[in-house]
Amino acid sequence: MKRTFALLLPLLFAAAHAEDFQGADHPLEYDHEPISYSASQPHDPISVVQQKIMSGELKLKWDEKFGYLPALLDAFGAKKSSQVLVMSKTSLQRRNISPDNPRSVFFSDEVYLGYIPGAPVIEISSVDPQLGGTFYFIEQEQVRKPKFTRSNDCLSCHGGQRTLGVPGHFVRSVVTDASGEMISLEEVRDITQCTPLKDRWGGYYVTGKSGSQFHRGNLIGEKDLMQFKREPAFKSNLTDLSPFFDTSKYHGTGSDITALMVLEHQAHMHNYIARLNIEAKLMLAAYGHVRYIRAQVDAFLRYLLFTEEFPLTQKIEGNPDYVRDFEAHAIRDSKGRSLRELDLKTRLFKYPCSFLIYSPSFDAIEPQIKAIILQKLHDILTGKNDDAQFARLKPEDRKAILEILIETKKTLPDYWRRP
């Protein structure tokens, strides 16, 4: 029997604020031409894997404990170390989610997988270069050629203001009671790289050390919330979750603080990319130009370059396996530098420019708007643009990012490489 689910509701994550795009976060008409979201065949990693399964090129191995989860992680390049755990009941699989049976989320650069012990499906979403977020589920039943079922039901939450008005993902902090239900709307926070740590991760388990930088992770119930207000760090800096639930039911270890921080950045960055691309296509179809969205480019670049990132005051110490797995995909210049290098002392990344500049989604941005982005980015990095909104970007960072991109991003315009 066909099932439909609102997929990845609590998982993914980065609610849009009105100021993100100068107030332009209203839902776009992405189900109309030229986007035709629902009618279009995605060309995302999930559809690619489905084709391999159907052709016999790929066989998903069934695991007696976790079903298709381990095989799916391998197929999509998501590592066990990326696991984060969500305890809030914010999905239509809510009956399976609670603080003693949280949802585990694993992710790569383009794909997110949600696994709940005892749940009938694994939830999967991806990023399509032309459509933005795409949402699927796969039945946890052993068959010869398992199929991903696409579900647009998710767009009720994953296709509006929370995701910059386009199909996407968002991260949210929601303090829950002992059953996983939301305690109060007053305690809801939207999370991006700009959010203070003290407002992050309600409704999540969090493992790793953040020093005196406290957060809302691991809080369960009104009593914990009241103690948090008196003693903010009392459930920070945890490394073992076994007192809360049976950790042997989970494929990964812990709910890594570093993985959460990377997840928050990339989910919202993908929303920015999708918004610019989809809005550019709509503007070109309607007016033949993209002049009306030039202001949005500044907001996009502020996020790309972390100019409004919340600063760290102490070192973040998460799972070293996640750091290793994440940095293993680094594209390095001749000096060994990469935009995937984590800092975790004063900021998330050593070089403050998003690694998603290498993504298929960035490369697929409508050429007219991408030309504006790249020209302005070049001017910022070379010092020609001294706009105050980019003043936080230090000269040495601008120089390093420029040098890294010139060597490692081969599709840049020729003027980037001229003296």
Please say which residue of 190, 217, 249 terminates a domain. 249
Q: Does residue 187 form part of some domain?
A: yes
Q: Which of 216, 249, 282 is the last residue of a domain?
A: 249
pLDDT of residue 23: 46
Q: Based on the fold, state whether residues 200 and 148 are members of the same structural domain.
A: yes
Cα gap 417→408, rounded to integer Å? 12
One domain for residues 233 and 292: no
Radius of gyration (C-alpha) of the chain in whole angstroms: 21
CA distances (Å), origin 255, targets 31, 132, 166, 346, 419:
36, 26, 28, 22, 46
Does residue 254 form part of some domain?
no
- Do 362 and 316 belong together in one domain? yes
Same domain, 53 and 123: yes
87, 161: one domain = yes
Dist. CA 119–CA 153, nearest whole Å:
18
Contact 171, 267 (CB under 8 A): yes
Neighbouring C-alpha atoms within 13 Å toward the C-beta of 294: 8
Q: Rounded to whole angstroms, how far apart are CA atoms 150 and 123?
A: 10
pLDDT of residue 181: 87
Q: Is 323 in the same domain as 286?
A: yes
**Per-residue pLDDT in tens (0 to 9) along the chain, 419 residues:** 344 333 343 333 333 343 455 445 677 888 889 999 899 999 999 999 999 999 999 999 999 999 999 999 999 999 999 999 999 987 778 899 999 999 999 999 999 999 999 999 999 999 999 999 999 999 999 999 999 999 876 766 655 677 888 888 988 898 889 988 888 766 788 799 999 999 999 999 999 999 999 999 999 999 999 999 999 999 999 999 999 999 999 999 999 999 999 999 999 999 999 999 999 999 999 999 998 888 899 999 999 999 999 999 999 999 999 999 999 999 999 999 999 999 999 999 999 999 999 999 999 999 999 999 999 999 999 999 989 999 999 999 999 999 999 999 999 999 999 87
> Residues 314, 200: one domain?
no
Assigned domain for 255 exists: no
* Residue that is last in its domain, among 208, 234, 249: 249
Domain hosting 111: range is: 13-249
- Please tell me the predicted confidence (pLDDT) of residue 4: 39
* Same domain, yes or no: 318 and 245: no
The verdict on residue 2 lying in a domain is no
Alpha-helix runs per DSSP H in 15-132: 45-55, 69-76
Domain count of the fold of the chain: 2
Residue 209 and residue 357 in one domain: no
The overall longest dimension of the chain from CA atoms, in Å, is: 63
Q: Do 281 and 241 belong together in one domain?
A: no
> Does 265 fall in a domain?
no
Are 54 and 160 within one domain?
yes
Asked if residue 299 is part of any domain, the answer here is yes
**Domain match, 347 and 208 both:** no
Instruction: End-to-end CA distance of the chain: give it in Å, rounded.
Output: 63
In a domain, 260, yes or no: no
